[in-house]
Structure 1
Amino acid sequence: MPYEAKTRPTEADVAAFLDRVEPAVRREDGRVVCELMRKVSGEDPQMWGPSIIGFGRHAYRYASGHTGETSRIGFSPRKGALVFYLSCNAAQQESLLARLGKHTTGVGCLYIKKLAEVDMAILEELIRAAWAHPEPA
């Protein structure tokens, strides 16, 4: 049986999703990030699954032959942090990350608790780099 991705684009309303985000600081930060990603990508946001806001589409193929589609860039305003899905090579972005401000990283993800704790110009550079050179997460 072929693999079917669980996180797929939906018709859910992005603004309505953001209106329900708690706490309030995460909701407001989510709105700011949504507009920043819209500006960088030139695309309208779309819900991917129940909690990821994505921009654009990126088809990929792994060496194993597995193929799929994901948003080109995206984020999720989760309770503990904003999670960025930038699908870029974090090692290549090391110098930017060093200047970003308070954050953590995981496999294919960037975590920021408050936008007020990071340099927004550096965040925009990271988003632009991911938009320009998407790689599978």
Structure 2
Amino acid sequence: MAYEQKTKENDGSVIEFIESVDHPKKKEDAYRLLDIFTEASGYDAKMWGPSMIGFGSYHYKYETGHEGDSFLAGFSPRKSKISLYFATGDPTREKLLKDFGKHTTGKACVYINKLDDINVDVLKALIKQSVDFLQEMYPEKVPE
């Protein structure tokens, strides 16, 4: 049985998605994040699935044969916290997170309450690190 990837790039409007965020401060932070991620990644924002904003893309293939496409870095202004998505597996990420500010981490996500809690310069470094690390690890482009 083939695995069907749930989260795919789509033609949804990033601005409409951000406008649908209920909390005014979270919406304001989402617009700031949009600018920060666009500048730091060098890519335009695209919707991935119904609620993730991704920048750039790469095609991965694991030794198990599982493969798919994902974004190089991204975020999602969720109800409880803002989820930030950076590459895992690079020790540089962990070093950068030490100076990031108030956050928690999950398996692959970094969660923040608001932008005022973090160091924006470290955020930019995390975005660049994620883009560089994934492009080096997966040089193959996303199939058209």
TM-score, normalization by structure 1 = 0.92
SS at match of 1:25: helix
Q: CA deviation at 1:93?
A: 2.1
Matching residue of 1:44 = 44
Matching residue of 2:142 = none
Amino acid at match of 1:69: D
Matching residue of 1:108 = 108
SS at match of 1:59: strand
Q: CA deviation at 1:91?
A: 4.3
Matching residue of 2:16 = 16
Deviations 1:42-65 (A, max 9, x none): 221110010000111111011211
Question: For 1:96-135, what aligned pairs fall within 5 Å after superposition?
Answer: 96-134=96-134
Aligned: 1:26 with 2:42: no
Amino acid at match of 1:93: R
Q: CA deviation at 1:113?
A: 0.6
SS at match of 1:127: helix
**Amino-acid identity (%):** 38
Structure 2 residues without counterparts, runs of 5 or longer:
139-144
Distance across 2 between alignment mates of 1:90 and 1:79: 29
SS at match of 2:92: coil
Question: For 1:48-63, what aligned pairs fall within 5 Å after superposition?
Answer: 48-63=48-63
How many residues align? The count is 136
Q: CA deviation at 1:40?
A: 1.5
Q: CA deviation at 1:90?
A: 6.2
Matching residue of 1:86 = 86
Matching residue of 2:77 = 77
Distance across 2 between alignment mates of 1:96 and 1:42: 20
Amino acid at match of 2:11: E
Amino acid at match of 1:110: V
Distance across 1 between alignment mates of 2:110 and 2:91: 12
Misfit runs of 4+, over 3 Å? none
Deviations 1:54-103 (A, max 9, x none): 11111101121101101111110101111011123364322211111100
Structure 1 residues without counterparts, runs of 5 or longer:
none
TM-score, normalization by structure 2 = 0.88
